[in-house]
């Protein structure tokens, strides 16, 4: 587990930072795939963890959620509009062969959501920012004091096709509403994050590059 900022750690659930979870402010943000249970529990050993929050309820973010919540007795929190998906396993993913494959291989079991997050809610010292589009209930998390942004899948720093680094929009095959996701990305423009933590890809500290990428997206 790699420390990136005060009380912020990256848990690489798959090689090359292709699927990430984070421990920040005592909260586990995201939980990789169903296969990530061992990696996450090992990373959290000896750490204080008080809750588990999702950026969104997709199979590569909620895969080990139930296993980790049960092992560590954690409450699960996620965006209001994704809570039903988390509790039923009926995810907000466009139906296509790629998403069906991912769903079959990575999806974790449903689990009750103890807290349905809204804009402005406080989560482990971060503030929830509603960023719908990739899913209806996608949430990013922002910590003003050191300008740390957990951006989830609003933007990724890895090509879905080649796994090479580079800022990208989330793939259309997994995104409910790309135009709405772009609007959510633009909502992050004024933040000027000093550290951006992605669901997919390595963290970046280049504020200008992050802002330029978002500005380059057509409305
Ligand atoms: Zn994802």
Is beta strand 2-5 parallel, antiparallel or unpaired with respect to 126-130?
unpaired
Model-wide pTM > 0.85: yes
Q: How far, in Å, is the centroid of ligand 1 from the Cα of 153?
A: 5
Q: How far, in Å, is the centroid of ligand 1 from the Cα of 18?
A: 9
Q: How far, in Å, is the centroid of ligand 1 from the Cα of 129?
A: 17
Say how many domains are in the chain. 1
pLDDT at 102: 81
pLDDT at 96: 87
Q: How far, in Å, is the centroid of ligand 1 from the Cα of 211?
A: 21
Which residue's entry shows tokens 């970046």?
A: 204
Ramachandran area for residue 147 (φ above 0: left; ψ -120 to 50: alpha; else beta): left
The per-residue pLDDT string of the chain (219 residues; one tens digit each, 9 = 90 and over) reads: 899 999 999 999 998 899 999 999 999 999 999 999 999 999 999 999 999 999 999 999 999 999 999 999 999 999 999 999 999 988 878 888 888 888 888 999 999 999 999 999 999 999 999 999 999 999 999 999 999 999 999 999 999 888 899 999 999 999 999 999 999 999 999 999 999 999 999 999 999 999 999 999 977
Q: How far, in Å, is the centroid of ligand 1 from the Cα of 97?
A: 17
pLDDT at 143: 98
Output the domain CATH number for residue 139: 3.60.15.10
Q: How far, in Å, is the centroid of ligand 1 from the Cα of 133?
A: 13
Q: How far, in Å, is the centroid of ligand 1 from the Cα of 189?
A: 21
Residue-number span of the structural domain to which 69 is assigned: 2-216
């Amino acid at each position: 587990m790699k420390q990136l900022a005060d009380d912020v750690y990256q848990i690489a659930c798959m090689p090359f930072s292709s699927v990430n979870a984070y421990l920040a402010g005592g909260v586990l943000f995201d939980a990789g795939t169903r296969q990530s249970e061992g990696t996450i529990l090992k990373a959290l050993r000896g750490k204080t963890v008080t809750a588990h929050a999702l950026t969104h309820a997709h199979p590569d973010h909620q895969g080990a959620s139930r296993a980790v919540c049960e092992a560590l007795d954690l409450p699960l929190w996620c965006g209001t509009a994704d809570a039903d998906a988390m509790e039923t396993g009926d995810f907000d993913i466009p139906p296509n062969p790629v998403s069906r494959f991912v769903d079959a291989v990575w999806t974790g079991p449903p689990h009750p959501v103890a807290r349905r997050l809204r804009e402005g809610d406080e989560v482990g010292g971060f503030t929830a920012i509603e960023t719908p589009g990739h899913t209806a209930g996608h949430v990013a998390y922002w910590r003003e004091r050191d300008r740390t942004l957990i951006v989830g899948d609003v933007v990724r720093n890895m090509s879905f096709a080649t796994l090479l680094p580079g800022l990208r929009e989330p793939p259309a095959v997994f995104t409910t509403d790309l135009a709405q996701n772009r609007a959510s990305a633009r909502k992050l423009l004024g933040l000027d994050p000093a550290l951006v933590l992605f669901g997919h890809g390595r963290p970046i500290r280049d504020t200008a590059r992050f802002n330029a990428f978002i500005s380059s997206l057509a409305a």
